Amino acid sequence: MIVFKVMAQLVTGLVFLSVTFRYSIAADTLNPNQPLRDGQTIVSAKETFALGFFSPGESKHRYVGIWYNKLPGGQTTTVVWVANRSSPLSGTNGSLELNGNDTLTINSLIFLPMPMVALTNPVAQLLDDGNFVIREANSSEFAWQSFDYLTDTLLSGMKFGWELRTGLNRNLTSWRSKDDPSPGSYVLSINLEGIPQVNLWSGSTKKWRSGPWTGIKFSNIEEQPRTYGLRFGSVNNKDEVYYMYNTTGTELVIRVILDQSGMFKKLCVD
């Protein structure tokens, strides 16, 4: 399944945002009551992604986000996820903390739905696929993950779609502007009525639909040239309905975004 073919225009290239970052504390893990303060970052084990506070473009507001830590040419400023996109901070005194009750807070305020299960020894870890997770220190199972709360970007391994048992809808919502990551005008989501298909919404107005998935492509999209190394998949059962792509085992750096103008774009660096 080629998720990023759901718009008529695909753009190849890589767009970088002007953001403000500071120094790394190197570790990939947050332990309870050891806050990550503004000016510090955590970096995934292979140094693929970093997490910390940033200001996009000319904004003075501060957000917690995840960005590529290393890209060809030394570029490091492409934000792929924002935690507090609707609740920015006005100063540089922010801190991200994992509390002993398994809850992530920014300046003591919960910013996203958190795990419902109690953990004995919780840790929060940034993984090399860009997923920020909460888990038991000695377990590989996630009690919570940022991959369940997409912003404007779909990364390799992210599920785009529904978890039917809980009602979780993993959709994409554009930034308001290049300086403002708060939810913008456009939402890309899977419509479960009839045969599942992808719809682009602007408010309550449907701007575009993909047509149903044929097993090879969406019916309203012309066949596109294949990109070597990408694998695509779709799931439609009583528990989940989603699409995803995967670049595991390759050197490809690919992301897809829903931009401020409502275009869904493929962005890659070979």
The model's pLDDT over 175-204, given as tens digits with 9 standing for 90+, comes to 999 999 999 999 999 999 888 889 999 999
Amino acid of residue 46: K
pLDDT of residue 223: 59
- In this prediction, residues 69-93 reach a mean pLDDT of 85
Whether 139 contacts 107, CB under 8 Å: no
Separation between Cα atoms, residue 104 and residue 123, nearest integer Å: 10
pLDDT of residue 17: 43
Tell me what percent of the residues of the chain surpass a pLDDT of 70.
82
CATH class for the domain made up of 3-269: mainly beta
Per DSSP, the three-state class of 119 is: coil
- So where are the chain's domains? 3-269
Confidence of residue 86 (pLDDT cuts 50, 70, 90): very high
Does pLDDT of 77 surpass 50? yes
